[in-house]
Copies of this chain bind each other. A is one copy, B any other.
Amino acid sequence: MEPRPAAPRPRLCDSLGADQTLSASTLNAARAEARPAGRRAPAVAAVLPAGGSGERMGVPTPKQFCPVLERPLISYTLQALERVCWIKDIVVAVTGENMEAMKGIIQKYQHQRISLVEAGVTRHRSIFNGLKALAEDQPDSKLSKPEVVIIHDAVRPFVEEDVLLKVVTAAKEYGAAGAIRPLVSTVISPSADGCLDHSLERARHRASEMPQAFLFDVIYEAYQQCSDYDLEFGTECLQLALKYGHIKAKLVEGSPDLWKVTYKRDLYAAESIIKERISQHICLIMDTKDENHVGHRLEEVLKDELNHVKVTSRLPCHTGRDLDQIVSEQCYSYVCVNVMTSDFEEIRKLVNMLEESNLSILYPVVVISVYFLDYKSVPFDQKMENLMQIREYAKEVKKRNILLCGLLIYYPQDEQKLQESLRQGATIIATLIKERNSGLVGQLLVA
């Protein structure tokens, strides 16, 4: 068993799609319903087999380590588990050759409550190693035996607290539980000569997905009893609980998001889903309170064009309270509307605050600095020269995963043309936020 990496510095939990306060109380409430009031919630740990080679992906890197928005896939899965506060320990089984890389990932992305064990040569052996680490009372181990253990895949990053709670609650009652999904394709059984023997009725079968949960003693005893053949060729933990523990697992309907990243196309899909999720909120920062200013009209156009996106606006960030708010809102897209100046002071303050917030450790944060070109205040040439400085500054902040671009919006007198400019500006903002591509940092775009 590997020692834990050094504890990362404190960080507020990520709250994308999960509210921990709610969750902990929901768990207690759910438990309270099924059992006499006053009983404590079960101690829960999770085991994550991550020793696979990813041969189906057609790439040399095992799929759990493939980058998605430049971060390894497994880090998203760890994030999904660790933001659920009632999961006390997360045991990850990785091969010896990936052990150092895994430690690096835990440190870089500040994952918490993770312990590493060495993977076995098959999935079942890896899970067994994870369970052993939880079961054994080693003197130097901080792990303790949980009442319920969740088994999940490293390559299912979109698991929600909701389904974790459901399988844990069902495992407590039934001894074992697992998420299922309807079949997408008909399943058939081939004969030895490669022809159709029979096809299975689709409505009577389900795909067994992850997460699954078990009373720890049930699954640990099953693994202790099971044969080498099971450990080598088996794939289904629910089947082991049935075969050796005589436990009929409760099946829980899961969401489509539980799907397993298996092929290259799944990596593409995962990246698109993550990009979409972190682009659902745009924070506009205005350096004026003047309600009639064109900056507020830009806000209206943005709300109009991006009607699935939450657009909020606020004054510039200067205080510690502003920082707290930025951290708690978990917004990854900022549009700084500079009405009063064409320098970078406000942008610098925002970027400093974003750095302090650690938001960009997990996801690239887009910052778009918007200027209006109204042909009167500052002369064009001087303004342009100021703005071209954005390139150097953008290069610098890109190192901290902050993607900075400039946007210059023409401000013609003609009302209709202005509306057109604003609409084009909104399209460019939407594109930069959606694509979140580091190749365009430092550019000054024109609407």
Contacts and interface: CB of A to CB of B under 8 A. Distances in A.
Given A268-B273, A437-B431, A207 B186 contact: yes
A259 B265 contact: yes
A262 interface: yes
Interface in A203-218: 203-209
Contacts of A189: 204-206
Interface size band for A: 35 or more
> Chain A's interface: helix, strand, loop or mixed, by majority?
mixed
A179 B324 CA distance: 55
A248 B195 contact: yes
Contacts of A249: 195-196
A437 B440 contact: no
Interface in A163-200: 174, 176, 178, 180-181, 183-191, 194-200
Interface string A32-65: 0000000000000000000000001000000000
Contacts of A263: 256, 259
A235 B200 CA distance: 10
A199 B208 contact: yes
Nearest to A189: B205
Q: Which has the most chain B C-beta neighbours within 10 Å: A56, A268, A270, A446?
A: A268
A379 interface: no
A443 interface: yes
Interface of A: 56, 174, 176, 178, 180-181, 183-191, 194-200, 202-209, 233, 235-236, 238-239, 242, 248-251, 256, 259-260, 262-263, 265-266, 268-273, 388, 391, 427-428, 430-431, 434-435, 437, 439-440, 443-446
Given A190-B251, A204-B189, A260-B184, A242 B273 contact: no
Contacts of A205: 187-189, 200
A272 B262 contact: no
B199 A236 contact: yes
Given A269-B266, A439-B428, A440-B445, A188 B204 contact: no
B437 A235 contact: no
16 contacts: A176-B196, A178-B196, A185-B260, A187-B208, A189-B204, A191-B248, A194-B250, A196-B242, A198-B242, A199-B208, A200-B200, A265-B266, A268-B268, A431-B437, A431-B440, A443-B445
A206 B188 CA distance: 5
A196 B251 contact: yes
B200 A238 contact: no
Copy number in this complex? 2
A427 to B, nearest CB: 5
Given A180-B188, A190-B206, A202-B236, 19 more contacts: A176-B196, A184-B207, A184-B260, A187-B208, A189-B204, A190-B251, A195-B248, A195-B250, A197-B248, A199-B239, A200-B205, A203-B233, A259-B263, A268-B268, A268-B269, A427-B439, A434-B437, A435-B435, A435-B437
Contact of A273 (B195, B209, B259, B265): B265
Given A268-B269, A437-B431, A251 B208 contact: no
B202 A235 contact: yes
List the 7 closest A-B pairs by CB distance, nearest first.
A431-B439, A268-B272, A265-B269, A185-B207, A195-B248, A269-B269, A196-B249
Contact of A443 (B190, B195, B439, B446): B446
A264 B44 CA distance: 32
A13 B92 CA distance: 51
A430 B435 contact: no
B445 A251 contact: no
Contacts of A187: 183, 187, 200, 205-208
